[in-house]
């Protein structure tokens, strides 16, 4: 079961009365964001295709009750690589709470690491589907409700790897997330909706409970992956990976009313690497 958010910078009540949908919330950055919003009084709907998201939601709910934060958490299992899955997730949030104030699109991540000429057609399509389509679909699914209520905030999780080694399809997908963020922000500002993004760099995290793809097997595959690690550290002014808490904090800030004059912005969170 998930431990309560342990960061020292929690702002009590910042999300009081707010309903936040967080995708990819079963582990990693998404889990940390959901824990933080729950600790700050929000009603969090965690979405993931892995069933363990229900355990994370129970942990957040128990922590909220124990602390008296006013937060709550429910979980929805859905495949956000399909529009049907994204629609299902948003409908579940609306059925439970009647509105969605915040959407954090966190689904995505490199599946394979290799020079572009080593990607076949199937791998290219799967990378794009994993790291672009969930954000496209879920933005589209939530917009009617946000437009009707005349307010809302969408925070997309992109990446500084739009410039990086051995993951061209992933870079292209995250470049699409950046374009989506800026274009949609312009389009929906008149409806009272903000659209922003963070662009994380390398992030230290526990071993994934559900892996994105197969482990590197050959010495060559391991070398290709190590190139990513080395380039990521070298590109960072701080010469290190960030922590999950260091990634969650700016996402939560951008999702909050404190960021009310920010839209269309993409914030690099990568120790100085601008991508």
Active site residues: 170
Tokens representing 117 are 């000429």
Contact 155, 251 (CB under 8 A): yes
Among residues 34, 64, 55, 58, which one has the least CA distance to residue 46?
34
Dihedral angle computed from the Cα positions of residues 118, 128, 256 and 100, in that order, rounded to the nearest 10 degrees = -160
Q: Provide the residue count of the chain.
A: 275
How far apart CA 141 and CA 80 sit, in angstroms, is: 11
The residue with tokens 């954000």 is 135
How far apart CA 113 and CA 228 sit, in angstroms, is: 8
Pairing of strands 102-105, 72-77: unpaired
Contact 184, 266 (CB under 8 A): no
Using CB atoms within 10 A of its CB, is residue 83 exposed (0-12), middle (13-18) or buried (19+)?
A: middle
Helix and strand element counts for the chain (H, E): 8, 7
How far apart CA 21 and CA 198 sit, in angstroms, is: 16
């Amino acid at each position: 079961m998930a431990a309560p958010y342990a960061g020292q910078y929690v702002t009590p009540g910042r999300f009081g009365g707010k309903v936040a949908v967080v995708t990819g919330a079963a582990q990693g950055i998404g889990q940390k964001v959901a824990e933080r919003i729950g600790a700050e009084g929000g009603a969090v709907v965690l979405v993931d295709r892995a069933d363990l998201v229900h355990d994370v939601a129970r942990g957040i709910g128990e922590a909220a009750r124990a602390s008296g934060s006013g937060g709550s958490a429910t979980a929805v299992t859905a495949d956000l690589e399909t529009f049907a899955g994204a629609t299902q997730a948003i409908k579940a949030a609306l059925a439970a709470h009647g509105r969605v104030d915040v959407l954090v699109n966190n689904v995505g991540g490199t599946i394979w690491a290799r020079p572009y000429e080593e990607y076949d057609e199937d791998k290219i399509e799967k990378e794009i589907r994993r790291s672009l389509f969930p954000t496209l679909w879920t933005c589209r699914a939530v917009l009617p409700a946000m437009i009707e209520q005349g307010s809302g905030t969408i925070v997309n999780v992109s990446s500084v790897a739009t410039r990086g080694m051995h993951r061209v399809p992933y870079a292209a997908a995250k470049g699409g997330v950046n374009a989506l963020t800026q274009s949609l922000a312009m389009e929906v500002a008149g409806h009272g909706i903000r659209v922003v993004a963070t662009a994380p760099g390398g992030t230290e995290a526990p071993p994934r409970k559900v892996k994105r793809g197969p482990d590197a097997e050959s010495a060559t595959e391991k070398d290709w992956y190590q190139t990513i690690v080395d380039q990521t550290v070298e590109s960072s002014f701080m010469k290190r990976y960030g922590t999950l808490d260091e990634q969650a904090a700016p996402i939560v800030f951008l999702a909050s009313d404190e960021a009310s004059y920010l839209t269309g912005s993409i914030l690099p969170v990568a120790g100085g690497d601008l991508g």
